[in-house]
Amino acid sequence: MRQTILTTLLVIAAALSSCTVKDAPAAETFTESAVEPMTLSVQTKEQLPLEDAVETGAKAYMPLNYTDQKGMWFPYMSYGEYMFGKSEAEFREAVAQKYSDAKANGINTIYVHVHPCGDAYYRSELFPKGIYLDGDYDPLAIMLEEGHRLSLSVHAWINPLRAQTAEQMNEVDERFRIKALAKTNVNGRLYLNPSSDEALSLVNDCVTEIVDNYDVDGIHIDDYFYPTTDSSIDAEQFAASGSTDLSAYRLERCSKMVHGIYEAVKRSDDRVLFGISPQGNIRTDYNSQYADVRLWGSCIGYCDYIVPQIYYGFQNETCPFAETLAEWQQLVTCSRVSLVIGLAAYKQGAEDRWAGAAGELEWAEDETVLARQIELVNGSENVHGYALYY
């Protein structure tokens, strides 16, 4: 079935035309009409010559990003297959093959997992080495080299708040700040608490360390915001805030984190993009994760692109694909924020247990679902591409 998906995408990719490179205390402060025009975050090599970059203090590397993203996630869960127990040469060979396959399927942007669980798949002074990295090489450096060799835009994918399990954290060296800060325990997994300014400062330092030291084209986060709806995890901070609305307080804290990441990226290199990939269900974003996606999609100062995970079939009873896509088109109104649609390539050929009776077998019985979704995305106004999760 995976071969069927790849074949479908190859046909679609062949039909596509080539792509071209193309401070938040309150929402009203950052509406487009209220903010002076900003320098473009990404410029082509023709637009900004090397000597100009040197004169302005920018890194010699020119970030590579595309007007229309054709993205793909590379999650850390797969590192057990091609990183753990592998030599540097073996890892590089596997990465080169995976990226070459992606490129052949029309992909131009990749999100590589480098900070998934309060750890680091790069050279870090702030975090312990990732559990799948048992060699002395630098995975991010290799992923950047192999991606850029193929003219792929490489975005460093981080999970700002998620840390290791409580058991794993016991083995972490005391010198790492995350050991003292990641105390929120949700089902045995530890998290940084978004109500803590110290925690958010560590998140910003993580971003700065990556952008300062690596030629990344973007920083990317996905749908790990508030780790739980349990009111006990931030009761003390909520009481001290003076707020009377817990939901509003948490929305504000998440937006503070997002804005902090955006600012950290731009301070290091304002040509580097920052993107967010929230859940596709907008109601869930607000009700369980406290992700203020309307704010982030309508105002300058939070992100450069947003990739909602619209992992639903056309017949999904809760969030049918076409209708959900239209909701996001209406939500992302800032001209400085690009809307890219996250698609569930992994569902093609499988049952979808959460889709309701009408949609449960849609992906299993109709092998054209993903292709039709890509076709709809490509033909939609104000949408700047798609990203695939396998």
Listing DSSP states for 72-113 in one string gives EEE-GGGHHHHTTT--HHHHHHHHHHHHHHHHHTT--EEEEE
Q: What is the pTM of this model?
A: 0.87
How many whole angstroms separate alpha carbon 336 and alpha carbon 232? 37
- CA 239 to CA 233: how far, in whole Å? 12
**pLDDT greater than 50 at residue 313:** yes
Q: What is the pLDDT of residue 39?
A: 29
- Give the residue-averaged pLDDT of 8-33: 37
Task: Indicate whether 348 pLDDT > 70.
Answer: yes
Q: Find out if CATH 3.20.20.80 is the number for domain 2-156+192-389.
A: yes
Quickly state the pLDDT bin for 49 (edges 50, 70, 90): very low
d(CA 278, CA 297): 11
**Predicted local confidence at residue 16, as pLDDT:** 38
Say yes or no to pLDDT of 5 above 90: no
Asked whether the predicted pLDDT for residue 8 surpasses 80, the reply is: no
